[in-house]
Every structure is written in structure tokens, then in C-alpha cells.
Amino acid sequence: MDALDTLVELSSQMELEHAEDSDGRVAPQGRIETTETTQPSCFTPKEKRAAFAHPAQLPNGKNIVLLKTLLSSACERDCYYCPFRAGRDFRRATFKPNEFADLFSKMHQRGLVEGVFLSSGIAGGGVRTQDKLLDTAEILRKKKGFRGYLHLKLMPGTEKDQVYRAMQLADRLSVNLEAPNTERLAKLAPHKIFIEELMRPLRMIEEIRRNEPAYKFWNGKYPSAVTQFVAGGADESDLELLTTTHWLIKNIRLQRAYYSAFHPIHDTPLENKPAVNPMREHRLYQASFLLRDYDFDLEDLPFTSDENLPLHADPKLAWANLNLIHSPIEINTADKQQLIKIPGIGLKGAEIILNARRMNKVNSLSALKKLHILADKAAPFILLNGKKPAIQTTMSF
């Protein structure tokens, strides 16, 4: 098997890893626009077969083509949902650190990929596997001179000196929690230990960030930390997922959580479990951004009696219908925290309104529209100069 064949084998199931390439947007048909793979037209047919090149958006908003792959698909663990679990019958493949670094470097030089997301199945324990990932990253950075985007996965049980080394090499680090707590994880991955193996490395990132200056790390910055959950895989509720997400955001400055709606994989213990509606992913993303950026608390979110978010309702709109419809917010005097609670007004929109207000009062929906605000969405929840704006209704028969 040559290196490209190895990559074909290893990248075949990487759509399960959302990494940077999913923002949970929903297409009009209700399908989540996530990991459509597009490859540059200059790829050879063999390169095209390897579904490794993913359009991705970096934390700074820049779009790049990300190579998403494993270093090895051999794994000694037996997580119930995972295509790479031990004992599942399929052809495994493994890169040596040098081999992967050579291949990636060539592809990078040809302009086929711009960044890399590197994970691995576990062989010989998490610590040993982490060493191989770190060796690969070190070759890329130090021998190949790669200065582009590198997202490195931390294996279960990774030790503190390995986390430190990873922070010196990567732009982003992640540990997949998979489930929101110990009890739920047992239903998904019986041999992973939630606190000791998964939460601990995530906490170490923050501990190191608090104690060491940023210049010691890659590019003089602290790498961001993210995690991923298999949404619905352990019959957990949205409240459980968002409680853990909220805790991570507040306590370890988690950049974001990714939610991957469970879908069954053939020849795994969960193969007969029904797939989870992808809309659940979307609602979880919306709610997690409200917690992270919009000053919402868990109790503000519109959980139903089964502790899930309604699939049919945007959580911000649902909150506004309960809380703002009878006490609308005056656009001309509201502070930023109030403005961002209004449906149709995001973080940028609130800044634009605050700036525009310094010159003139905002007196009409058309003035709001000129500021690129979704004025019709905001209209039921605002006052303009003390008056409720006239809301245009469309007749439907």
C-alpha cells in the first residue's frame, strides 16, 4: 500500500469528525450542511477517491481546505458507535509519522490542502498513541517547516507533558468527550473514563494557559480547545449536553463544542439504534452559541418537559416570545447585552446599531434594514423611539 492508498483507507470515515467544517447550518430541505467534500479539480482520480479534503472555516473566519485523517485506523478500544472499534471487520491502515509528514508536505506544496486535522485510533494505550501524533506534528513543524493550521487530537489519558508539547505545536487541540457525563459515556464507550481520561486533558490545557505565558506556545498564542459529542447516542437530553458545554465554556474557556447527530454504523453494537434527526444538531449549536456569546443561561433556554430543545423552534426566538413580546426593547437606548437578546440582531448587528445611534436615532424598520439588521424578525420585540413598529403581515390562503 503506498502512502496515498493509506490516506484513502484512513480518511474514508472522517465525516464523523466535525472538526472545523461544520457550523450546523440547515439547508432549506432540512438537511444539515456540514461535511460536503470538495476537492480541487487538479486532483488525480486516485486523490479524488480519498475523501480527505474538507472545506473548513478557521476560528478567525478564514476558509481553507483541511486534510482530515487518522494516523491509524487500528484501535484497541470498542466504543459502541465507532467504525474503527476493535474487532470490526475492515481493512486497517497506519501511517508512520515520517510517512504522513512526507505525504502531507507534498500535498501542501502542490496547493491541494492548506491545513491538517490529525487524529488516531488507539494502539498500545493513549499515551503511546499521543506520542506518535506529537512526533508527526513535530516533523511537520520542525523538519518540513509547515506553519499552517494544525488541529491535533488529544487521546484519552494523555499526560500533562504531552498536552504541553501539543500546545507548542498546534493551533487547536481537542478531546472528544462523546457524552456529557460518566453515566452516559458508559452507554457509548464502556472503556473510556469520563473524568480521568477525557476531562482531565481538557482541564490541563486551561491549567497550562493560566500558568504559562502565551509566547511559549505555537506562534506565540495559546491553542484553542474544542470537544465533540455524539448527540443522541446515549439517550442523553439536550439539557445534559448543554450543561456540560456551559460548564466547559465557563471553566476551561472551551472555544466550542461540536455535536454530531448519532447515526448507526453497520456492524457495531448500535447498528439498530435509529439515527438522530440532524435538526437536533442545529438546535444544539444555536443554544450553545447563545450560552457562549449572547449572555444566556441554561434556564433561559426553552427546554421541553423531556429536557430537550424543541426541534421546530429557534431557541432565541422562543425565549423572545416568552420574555420580550410584552416588554419590547427600545433600540435607541438599549445596551449591547439587551440588543443581542433580540431575534434578528447578532453580535455584529448590535455594534452597528450602537455606532449608528451616535449619529441619529433609529426611527424605522427601513433604517434598521439599511444597517443590515433582520428588521422584520426583530420587529415584534422592539420599540423605535417609544413606538412599536408596524409589522407587515402577508395574507396567505
CB of 185 to ligand SF4, least distance (A): 11
Nearer to ligand SF4, 92 or 377 (CB): 92
Listed ranges 32-40, 76-84, 158-166, 273-281: which one lies at the site for ligand SF4 (CB under 6 A): 76-84
State in angstroms the smallest separation of the CB of 121 from ligand SF4: 4
Per-residue binding letters, 352-391, with ligand SF4 (x by CB under 6 A): ----------------------------------------
The distance of closest approach from Cβ of residue 336 to ligand SF4 in the complex, given in angstroms and rounded to an integer, is 41
Burial 61-73 (b: 16+ CB within 10 A, else e): eeebbbbbbbbbb
Establish if 152 lies at the interface with ligand SF4 (CB under 6 A). no
CA dist 251 and 243 (Å) reads 12
Interior/surface letters 5-34, b for 16+ CB within 10 angstroms, e for the rest? ebbbbbbbbbbbbbbbbbebebeeeeebeb
Q: Which of residues 221-240 bind ligand SF4 (CB under 6 A)?
A: none
Instruction: Tell me which H or E stretch contains 346.
Output: none
Residues 6 or more apart in contact with residue 34 via CB below 8 angstroms? 15, 18, 21, 22, 24
Which span (71-79, 96-104, 266-274, 382-390) binds ligand SF4, by CB under 6 A? 71-79
Binding-site member from 18, 54, 68, 85 for ligand SF4 (CB under 6 A) = 85
Site for ligand SF4 (CB under 6 A): which residue of 82, 123, 242, 261?
82
By CB under 6 A, name the one of 19, 75, 123, 284 that touches ligand SF4. Answer: 75
Q: Which among 304, 333, 328 is positioned nearest to 380, based on CA atoms?
A: 328
Task: Say how far apart CA 289 and CA 256 lie, in whole Å.
Answer: 8
What distance in Å separates the CA atoms of residue 39 and residue 238, rounded to the nearest whole number?
35
Residues 178-197 that bind ligand SF4 (CB under 6 A): 189
Give the one residue of 122, 123, 208, 284 binding ligand SF4; rule: CB under 6 A: 122
Minimal distance in Å, beta carbon 132 to ligand SF4? Answer: 14
**Binding characters for ligand SF4, 9-48, by CB under 6 A (x = yes):** ----------------------------------------
CA nearest to 287, candidates 266, 267, 309, 306: 309
Q: Which of 84, 117, 303, 319 binds ligand SF4 (CB under 6 A)?
A: 84
Encoded amino acid at 64, one letter? I
Residue 81: C-alpha distances to residues 93, 120, 282 (Å) = 20, 16, 21
C-beta closer to ligand SF4: residue 89 or 297:
89
Instruction: Name which of 250, 228, 281 is nearest 26 in CA terms.
Output: 281
List contacts with ligand SF4 (CB under 6 A): 75, 77, 79, 82, 84-85, 121-122, 189
